[in-house]
Amino acid sequence: AQTVTQSQPEMSVQEAETVTLSCTYDTSESDYYLFWYKQPPSRQMILVIRQEAYKQQNATENRFSVNFQKAAKSFSLKISDSQLGDAAMYFCAYRSPASGTYKYIFGTGTRLKVLA
Amino acid sequence: DTEVTQTPKHLVMGMTNKKSLKCEQHMGHRAMYWYKQKAKKPPELMFVYSYEKLSINESVPSRFSPECPNSSLLNLHLHALQPEDSALYLCASSPLTSDVGNTQYFGPGTRLTVL
C-alpha cells in the first residue's frame, strides 16, 4: 500500500524569503500523480501544483515549484518570495492511475507560518 | 471555472435531527467525493460517485447517506449523528479522464457541529 509522509508538522518563513516543504512517499508503482494542496484558514483545499511521475521535468506554477526525485521518492515544494497569503496548511497527496482508483493518499500536512 | 460550491457553510444540529449537505459543480466532472476532515488532520475519504453511481463507500456509518441526483449535484443526508461526527465536510469533483491525473477540485466545506 502507498504511504505519504510529511515530516515537518510546522514551518516558518520570513516574508519574501524561500521555504521548502518536504514530502516523501512509498509506492511500488512506476506511474502515478503527486499533488500539493494548500488549505488556508478559510478551509478550502486549493490545488497548488501537480506532477506526473512519468515527466522528468519539475512542475512550476509561478512562485511554487517542486523538486521531484523519483528514485528517492521525494516530492518537495519550494515557495519563493513568500507572502502573507501563503500561510496555510499544506498537504501532499499521491494518486495511483490504476483504473477505478480515485483515492488520494494524503500526508499529515505541514502548517506554514509566514512572518512579517 | 474550477468552482465547487457547498451549502450551508455552517450547520448546527441535534442528535435527533435530519439535515442535508449540498454540493454542486458545473465543470462537467463525472466523479464526485465526500470527505470528512477533523482539525489539523488530512481529509478522510467517505464516498466516491462516478457517473452518478456510488463506487466507493469507505465503511461509513449508515447515519450518513449520500445521494447523487445528477452529474452536477451531490448530497449528503445526515440523521441521528453523534457529537464525534462534528467536523468539516468537504466535497470534491474530478474528471474521469486521466490526462490531468484526475485532479480533484474541492469546495469550501460545511462546518458541522453536532450537539
Instruction: List, for residues A95-111, the tens digit of each pLDDT value.
Output: 987 756 678 999 999 99
Mutating which of B30, B60, B102, B110 best tests the A interface, going by the most A Cβ atoms within 10 A?
A: B102
Alpha-carbon distance A66 to B64, whole Å?
Answer: 38
Beta partners for residue A105, in sequence order? A94
Q: Rounded CA gap, B88 and B43, in Å? A: 9
Query: What residues of chain A score a pLDDT lower than 50?
Result: none
Q: Which amino acid is at A28?
A: S
CB neighbours of residue A50 within 10 Å = 18
Q: Chain B residues within 8 A (CB-CB) of chain A?
A: 31, 33, 40-43, 45, 48, 50, 55-56, 88, 90, 92, 94, 98, 100-109, 111
Name the residue with cell 457529537.
Answer: B83
pLDDT of chain B along its 115 residues, tens only? 569 999 999 999 998 889 999 999 999 999 999 999 999 999 999 999 999 999 989 999 999 999 999 999 999 999 999 999 999 999 999 988 766 667 899 999 999 999 9
The C-alpha atoms of residue A58 and residue A74 are separated, in whole angstroms, by 12
For position B97, what pLDDT does the model report?
A: 72
* CA atoms of B73 and B57, how far apart (whole Å): 18
Return the pLDDT at B98. Answer: 64
Contact A102 B33 (CB under 8 A): yes
* Distance (Å) of CA B94 to CA A108, B30, B32, B104: 22, 7, 6, 5
